[in-house]
């Protein structure tokens, strides 16, 4: 059984039917990517998994446990961390304080200290800026902080929403390299991306979302070769 299983998921924003029956599975240990155009419902999917939105129908199962009816603070404790779109940093907090609240749901101080070290090894720039407020970081540094903060929850499943948004190509490379490292260290990742090329190079498996429905899914390498994906998302053919 997959670490995360979603069946027949429907989500509404008032009258807007944003997700119209989604089936999706994230295998343990993998990087799974969810690509799609603006407004396809990618962020909505992540928000529903982390409990920020309530589905109107469908089931979400994480590690055999149903997520239905659970609030975000309970879902974090089950091991799902969400680095939201637009980063959702606490702007007036220092980098240190942002990291600290990332571990809010945990009580194992030794483990927190270890993960903090790990996160700061992954993102050495953050170590130099621990006492700076998050608002004063550059866009790339803010993205690093958002990921690092999510890591401090010691997630078994990490939800990343457009980590490359608005970043220079070099920084994008760095971020994706680190995403691979995090995965290699044993964290399963569900990655939402506009940058389909990078996403499909990084992920093991991919889903294509089109206006609220899954249009295709296949191993990432296969998707990257598919004609529709090449035309619609990779800008070739």
Partner 1 sequence: MSSTPHIAARAAPAAWTVLPRNVGPVVAGLGLALVLNFCVQPMSGAFATKVLLDIGINIILAVSLTLVNGFTGQFSIGHAGFMALGGYVGAAVMYYGSVQLYGGAQFHGGILSWTVSQGAFAGPTFGTGDVLFLVACVAAGLVAAVAGYIVGLPSLRLRGDYLAIVTLGFGEIVRVILQSSRPQLETAAEVAQASWPRLLTQLGGALGFTTPLFYTTLFWVYLFVAITLVVTYRIKRSSYGRAFLSIREDEVAAEAMGVSTTRFKVRAFVLAAFFAGVAGALYAHSIGGINAGELGFQKSFDVVIMVVLGGMGSISGSTVAAIILTILPEALRTVTAWVNQYLPAAYALPDLRMIIYSLALILMMILRPQGLFGLHEIWDLRPWRRRRAKATGGK
Ligand X SMILES: Nc1ncnc2c1ncn2[C@@H]1O[C@H](COP(=O)(O)OP(=O)(O)OP(=O)(O)O)[C@@H](O)[C@H]1O
Contact positions vs partner 1 (CB under 8 A)? 50-52, 71-73, 76-77, 81-82, 84, 88-93, 96-97, 100-102, 104-105, 109, 127-132, 149, 153
Q: Which of 9, 35, 36, 147 binds ligand X (CB under 6 A)?
A: 36
Which residues, 78 to 107, sit near Mg ion by CB under 5 A?
Answer: 85
Q: Which of 30, 33, 43, 202 binds ligand X (CB under 6 A)?
A: 43
131 binds, among partner 1, Mg ion, ligand X, none (CB under 5 to 8 A by kind): partner 1
For residues 192-227, one letter each, b for 16 or more C-beta atoms within 10 angstroms of the residue's C-beta and e for the rest, the string is: bbebbebbbebbbbbbbbeebebeebeebeebbebe
Q: Which of 8, 29, 39, 71 binds ligand X (CB under 6 A)?
A: 39
Q: Does 38 bind ligand X (CB under 6 A)?
A: yes
Check: CB of residue 16 under 8 Å from CB of residue 174.
no
Measured CA to CA, the distance from residue 117 to residue 133 in angstroms comes to 19
Measured CA to CA, the distance from residue 79 to residue 60 in angstroms comes to 14
| Comparison of 135 and 221: residue with beta carbon closer to partner 1 | 135
- DSSP H or E run through 183: helix 169-184
Residue 92 φ/ψ region, left for φ over 0, alpha for ψ in the -120 to 50 degree band, beta for the rest = alpha
Q: By CB under 5 A, name the binding residues for Mg ion.
A: 43, 85
Q: By CB under 6 A, name the binding residues for ligand X.
A: 13, 16, 18, 36, 38-44, 85, 194
């Amino acid at each position: 059984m997959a670490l995360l299983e979603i069946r027949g998921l429907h989500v509404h924003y008032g009258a807007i039917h944003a997700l119209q029956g989604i089936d999706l599975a994230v295998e343990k240990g993998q990087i799974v990517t969810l690509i799609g155009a603006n407004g396809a419902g990618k962020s909505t999917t992540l928000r529903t998994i982390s409990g920020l939105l309530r589905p109107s129908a469908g089931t979400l199962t994480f590690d055999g446990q149903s997520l239905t009816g659970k609030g975000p603070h309970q879902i974090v404790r089950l091991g799902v961390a969400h680095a939201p779109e637009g980063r959702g940093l606490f702007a007036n907090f220092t980098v240190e304080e942002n990291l600290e609240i990332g571990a809010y749901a945990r009580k194992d101080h030794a483990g927190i200290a270890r993960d903090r070290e790990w996160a700061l090894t992954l993102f050495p720039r953050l170590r130099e800026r621990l006492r700076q407020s998050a608002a004063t970081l550059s866009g790339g540094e803010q993205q690093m902080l958002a990921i690092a903060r999510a890591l401090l929850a010691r997630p078994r499943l990490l939800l990343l929403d457009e980590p490359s948004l608005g970043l220079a190509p070099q920084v994008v490379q760095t971020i994706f390299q680190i995403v691979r490292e995090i995965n290699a260290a044993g964290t399963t990742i569900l990655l939402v991306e506009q940058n389909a090329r990078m996403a499909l190079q990084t992920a093991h498996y991919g889903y294509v979302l089109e206006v609220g429905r899954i249009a295709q899914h296949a191993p990432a390498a296969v998707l990257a070769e598919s004609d529709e994906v090449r035309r619609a998302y990779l800008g070739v053919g």
